Chain A
Amino acid sequence: MAEKEIKAPKAKVKKRSQLKSIWFRFRKNKLAMFGLILFLALVIMAVSASVFLDYDTDVIGQHMKERLQFPSSAHWFGTDQYGRDVFARIIWGSRISLVVGLFTVGIAMTVGGAIGAVSGYYGGKADMILMRIMDVFLALPGTILAVAIVGALGPGLVNVLLAMSICRIPQFARIVRSSVISLRGQEFVEAAKACGTSDFRIIMRHIMPNAIGPLVVQATLNMATTILGVAGLSFIGLGIEAPMPEWGSMLSEAREQMRYYPYLMVIPGIFIMLAVLSLNLIGDGLRDALDPRMKN
C-alpha cells in the first residue's frame, strides 16, 4: 500500500548533531556573523593586551608633558588629562569591561533563569515566595542596590561583579517565569509527563529550549547597562579602583574635559557601543539559530 511511505533503500540518514545544525543556521545570518567577528576581535584585543603593553608605564603611568593631546600618529586615540595614552587604556580596559559584562550577565542569567523556571513551573507557594523576593529587589533602584551591596562587601572587581549580578537576577527571573508559565501547559509537556519524565528533565529539555529567545535578547541588552553600571560604581569610588582603566570609568572621567576634548568621551563610548552591538547581533542571530522554525 502506498499509504505507508516507502523506505529508502538503505540510505541511512545520519542524525545531525544539534550544535552543528545551530551553527549551520547561525552561519547563514550575515549580521550575526559580523557581530561574532567583531566580538572576537574585541576578545583578542583584550587577551593580547599584555603582550605589547606594559601596565605600569603604558596604562597607568602618567606623562604630564603629553597631557590632553588630540589623536595623532603617536597617540592614536590621543591622551587624557594625566598624559596617558587612551589607546592603551582602551585596550587594557576591554579586559575588565568584557569580563564584568559577561560574568555579570552570565551569573544573573543562570541564577535568575533557575529561579524563574522553578517559580513558573511549580507555581503555587514556591512561585509566590520567590516572586515576592524578586519584587523586593525590583522595587529598589538597581544602582542603589549595587551600592549597598558593594558598600557592605567592600570595593573590588569580584564584589562589583557580584553586586551587579544580584541586581539583575529579578529581571531574568521574571522573563523566564512568564515563558515557562505559557509553556508548561502545552501538550508536549504533558506528553513528556505521560511517560514519566522527571520535572528536572522536563524543564531542561522541553521547556527551557523553548524559552531561550527572550532570555538571549534580554542578556545582550543587559551587557550594555552592566558596563555602564560599573562605571557608575567606579565613579562613586565603589567600583574598579582609580588608575585601573575600564571603559565606563574612562567615560565618566572624561566628563570634565568633554567641552574641549570630546574624543576622551567619544572613544570609550564607541567601544562600549561596539561591544554591545556585537553582542546584540550575536544574540539576535543566536535566538534565531536556536529556533529550528527559522530554518527557512
Chain B
Amino acid sequence: MSMPLIETRHLKKYFDTPRGLLHAVDDVNLTIPKGKTLGVVGESGCGKSTFGRVVLRLLEATSGEVLYNGENILTYSREQMLKMRQKMQIIFQDPYASLNPRMTVSEIIAEPIRVCKTITGNDAIMEKVDELMQIVGLADRFVNTYPHELDGGRRQRIGIARALALNPEFIVCDEPVSALDVSIQAQVLNLLMDLQEERGLTYMFVTHNLSVVKHISDEIAVMYLGQCVERCSSDELFENPLHPYTRALLSAIPEPSLEARNKKQEVIRGEVTSPVNPKPGCRFAARCPYAKPECMEKDLEFKEVSPGHFVACVLHG
C-alpha cells in the first residue's frame, strides 16, 4: 500500500470547560490517500469540524499524531509549519463569516499570496488573482466588489479561490455547501470535483449531509461524539452499513422520492448527549436499540470486519 497523504494516529483534542473535560476528538485514526476524498459525517457536536481544524493545526491537538507524507506535523516548529501551511488549506461553511467584509474580492484572494510571498510584485499577484478567479468561475467584473454584494454561491467561490491561491495539495472542506441552495450547491460540488481531477487535490470533506458526502467521497468516516464509529468506502457504507448509528443516520435522510414515503423509518430515540467526561464504553449505547451490557463495559476497538471496512461495535467482529 502506498503511503497516505494524511494519516492521523490516536488524535485527541480535549477542551477544558467549566463542566469538565470535553472530548471533542477522541482517539481518531484515519488515513486519506493522495488524490482521494475522505468524507467525515456526523451530527452537530460530534467533533467533525474540530477534527478538521486539528489536522490543519488551527487548533493544537491534546495528543496523537498527524502525519503528512509520513511526517508528524504536530512536532513542526513555527517556521516549518509556515511552509506546511501552503500545502494545506481550508474552505469554510459560512461564506458570510469566512470572508473579511472590509476587503474586496481581489484583496481576499491575494491575501494568502501576499502573506506567504509565493509571488511578488503587484502585477504578478493581480495576474494570479485573475487566473484564480477564472478557475473558480468568477467574472472579472467582481474584482473590486465586496463580499456582501455577492450571493452565497459566488462567495463560496471566493473562498475556494483563496484556498487555491497557494497551490495546496490538501484541502479541508468544512461543510462548504451547507449554507447554499440546492442548485448552487450542485454547481459548487461540480467545481470542487473538477478541481480535484485537474490538480490531483486531496480533500477531507466534513459535512452532515449524507447525500452530498456520498456523491463526493471515496471513503467515508462516520463520527459520533468525538469518535469514529465506522469507516469504509462510500459505496459500501450505503449498501452495507454496520454500525447502528450509521443505519439510523441513513434511514433518517428524507428521500426525495415517493417509494420511501410509506416506508417505516427507523427513528432513533433521544438526542446527542454532551461529550463532557464521557463514560467508558460505546458512546452511542444510550440511544442504541441493540445496546447490551457489554457495550458499556470498556472502550470498543475499531476493528476491520471486512477488507477496508472498519467499525466499532460489539455486534460486529
> Chain B, 179-222, contact with A by CB distance < 8 Å: what is the 0/1 string?
00000000100110000000000000000000000000000000
A292 and chain B: residue at smallest CB distance? B146
Give B132-157 interface residues, CB cut-off 8 Å to A.
134, 137-141, 143-144, 146, 148-149
Give A1-37 interface residues, CB cut-off 8 Å to B.
3-8, 11-13, 15-16, 21
User: Is B231 an interface residue when CB atoms closer than 8 A count as contact?
Assistant: no
> Chain A, 167-202, contact with B by CB distance < 8 Å: what is the 0/1 string?
000000000000000000011101111111110010
Collect the chain A residues with CB atoms within 8 Å of residue B139's CB: 5-8
User: Is B169 an interface residue when CB atoms closer than 8 A count as contact?
Assistant: no
Specify which of B101, B140, B144, B165 is in contact with A8 (CB 8 Å cutoff).
B140
Task: Tell me the complex Cα distance, A125–B190, Å.
Answer: 47
Q: Is the CB of A201 within 8 A of B140?
A: no
Task: Tell me the complex Cα distance, A198–B138, Å.
Answer: 28
Q: Is the CB of B106 within 8 A of A194?
A: no
User: Is B102 an interface residue when CB atoms closer than 8 A count as contact?
Assistant: yes
CB of B51, distance to nearest CB on chain A (Å) = 15
Collect the chain B residues with CB atoms within 8 Å of residue A187's CB: 92-94, 97-98
Q: Is the CB of A194 within 8 A of B102?
A: no
User: Is B21 an interface residue when CB atoms closer than 8 A count as contact?
Assistant: no
Number of interface residues of B (CB under 8 A): 44
Task: Tell me the complex Cα distance, A201–B100, Å.
Answer: 13
Q: With A5-B139, A8-B140, A16-B144 given, is the CB distance from A293 to B101 under 8 Å?
A: yes
Q: With A16-B144, A293-B146, A295-B146 given, is the CB distance from A196 to B98 under 8 Å?
A: no
Collect the chain A residues with CB atoms within 8 Å of residue B86's CB: 195-196
User: Is A143 an interface residue when CB atoms closer than 8 A count as contact?
Assistant: no
Size bracket of the A interface: 20 to 34
Specify which of B92, B102, B148 is in contact with A191 (CB 8 Å cutoff).
B92
Q: Is the CB of B144 within 8 A of A15?
A: yes
B145 and chain A: residue at smallest CB distance? A292
Give B223-277 interface residues, CB cut-off 8 Å to A.
none
Q: Is the CB of B90 within 8 A of A191?
A: yes
| Stretch from B10-18, B36-44, B110-118 at the A interface | B110-118
User: Is A66 an interface residue when CB atoms closer than 8 A count as contact?
Assistant: no
CB of B286, distance to nearest CB on chain A (Å) = 31
CB of B227, distance to nearest CB on chain A (Å) = 24
- Mark B residues whose CB is within 8 Å of A: 53, 56, 58, 81-82, 85-86, 88-90, 92-94, 97-102, 104, 106, 111-112, 115-116, 126, 134, 137-141, 143-144, 146, 148-149, 159, 162, 165-166, 187, 190-191
A-B contact pairs, 26 of them (CB 8 A): A3-B187, A5-B139, A7-B134, A13-B140, A13-B144, A15-B143, A21-B144, A186-B98, A187-B93, A187-B97, A191-B92, A191-B162, A192-B100, A192-B111, A194-B56, A194-B58, A195-B112, A195-B115, A195-B116, A195-B165, A196-B82, A197-B115, A206-B100, A210-B101, A292-B104, A293-B101
